[in-house]
Structure 1
């Protein structure tokens, strides 16, 4: 585990802890939560956790025995970057990706173990049921009342820049130790976000280096630190992260495994809000200010307020996409957008 914490983490308050002795108690805690919380020992009985407590090699062997023959995608960082998977000076990624058998990738972990100049090696968001046989069943999800995506993250000591996700997230520390630094959704201005379309992993990230924050370049980050919280997880612990909370994630040991569960409260046919933001940048951002003011009011009227007076005067059978969306009416919107965007 890392020898010393940067001062930023020691100055922050810690994430609250909750008791959740069974899945029903966890579900109740999640339903009531408006902030992240930690559950100690939630998955301590997983065979994967027990293998990791024996050694990193034992955990890797446990996974190899259950891996399907499909090729795995791995990110390989540059040596000397303190495990930070980020941009280089030209805003390209400071890591490359490769594909190969899990046994060959794990051989890279073995070969670099103990080396001071070892590169970061990270397998991100690997679908447990697609790439492994029996792994999800033997290490059962504590989220039983949702239908989450079940992903496993395997890596050396790494740092992933602060980002937010639309789905809710339960992240379980299986092997090694993890540090999560979390911020409320409204702190986005103070995190100094980078590009939208050019990102390390599909989500806009904070440009601030949390191990050496430059407050001359990013002065508002001081306010983010006042509003942030930190949690350090041991093997078997879990953290719940609500939708759109910003989180900076670190694997602190030479070998680390995280299992996370993502789910959303709305049907998948409603699409991704990020897609709407991208479309709004395309269609609205560069309009004259007077036009943007009009469209802001229309967005409030149709989208953000969406009060009954939007549709009360329209016969129910004629309300179309103004009514509560169904898979059919959502499909109509999607087909319309495809036609217009492909013109």
Structure 2
């Protein structure tokens, strides 16, 4: 018999709440933050927020008035009444991925919005600039010189398994309500992550069912909960999620809209760390233990420690890719890797 404990989440620490005076104040807080924080009412003046406060139908009408006539990607759950976007018993995802016009998708949501037995309908991470006209101009956060990817997330009631993202993230609730449960990056072992390659949306997710955690199967999840923080956001509220923090996200209202901003503090021409992890699985993980130890020492020397002793014995101008990377040297590494992987 599984040991379920629905009350396991009672008493979790709240995500700290901060007040910001203006865009410069927000910029300073984002630059100095090493942990999540909530800003109540940060986007309360958005027209989309005003529409969502009137009704889900008004929010949909507002978005329909600004969308481009392009096919949208939508996930539709297979199981009636199960809001969890996840895996089925066979480890295949428990939803269908379809393409359709936004008006048709919203017509389906019209019929499912107040039906607790309907499967979830979920448009995830859709680029605001590519799929809408003036939505960003009329509803955005001033994030200064950051080069952000603005995405919109639209759906009925949903539960998105805990996962992390490489970029920093400012997520703004435009309609409905969302609950975020967050964990520091070092809790990955206690979250029991699923496969790296077979994922619901591109990132490894926690296999723990947060609605009924099974501590017999996932005993270390109790430790994760001692480090967890939780926040429930209303329309107009925003939450900052730093890079690599795990977050479980629930759409609590019959209809929910969120706009988020992803950015990275490092140049865009640098590689993706996830790619390096996958390559290491291919090239290093299955080596004999003594060889892995030697490669660990090399990684520490060249990558993780990266001290002056790496290059101080080499003449300036002759250090190649051991010098701080530039777009040109990064391109050389990328071209070299492509050649090697194609052999």
Aligned 1:209-228 pairs, distance under 5 A: 209-228=209-228
Aligned 1:332-343 pairs, distance under 5 A: 332-343=332-343
Offset from partner CA, 1:61-84 (integer Å, 9 cap, x none): 000010101110100012335310
Mean Cα displacement is larger for which, 312-321 or 35-44?
312-321
What is the match of residue 253 of structure 2?
253
Offset from partner CA, 1:314-343 (integer Å, 9 cap, x none): 111111100000011001100011001000
Deviation at 1:31, TM superposition (A): 1.4
What is the match of residue 323 of structure 2?
323
Pairing 1:303–2:341 present:
no
Separation (CA, whole Å) in 1 of partners of 2:43 and 2:234 = 11
Mean Cα displacement is larger for which, 36-45 or 6-15?
6-15
5+ long unaligned stretches in structure 1? 1-5
Separation (CA, whole Å) in 2 of partners of 1:156 and 1:33 = 32
Matched residues, number: 338
Separation (CA, whole Å) in 1 of partners of 2:82 and 2:107 = 21
Tell me the C-alpha RMSD between the 2 structures. Answer: 0.9
- TM-score with structure 2 setting the length: 0.97
Distance 1:81 1:288, change over 3 A: farther
- Whether the aligned pair in 1 keeps the contact of 2:156 and 2:253 (CA below 8 Å) is yes
Deviation at 1:29, TM superposition (A): 0.9
SS in 2 for 1:269: coil
- TM-score with structure 1 setting the length: 0.97
- Whether the aligned pair in 1 keeps the contact of 2:79 and 2:94 (CA below 8 Å) is no
Pairing 1:137–2:137 present:
yes
Aligned 1:184-195 pairs, distance under 5 A: 184-195=184-195
Aligned 1:43-192 pairs, distance under 5 A: 43-80=43-80, 82-192=82-192
What is the match of residue 3 of structure 1?
none
Separation (CA, whole Å) in 1 of partners of 2:15 and 2:205 = 21
What is the match of residue 197 of structure 2?
197
Separation (CA, whole Å) in 2 of partners of 1:113 and 1:292 = 53
5+ long unaligned stretches in structure 2? 1-5
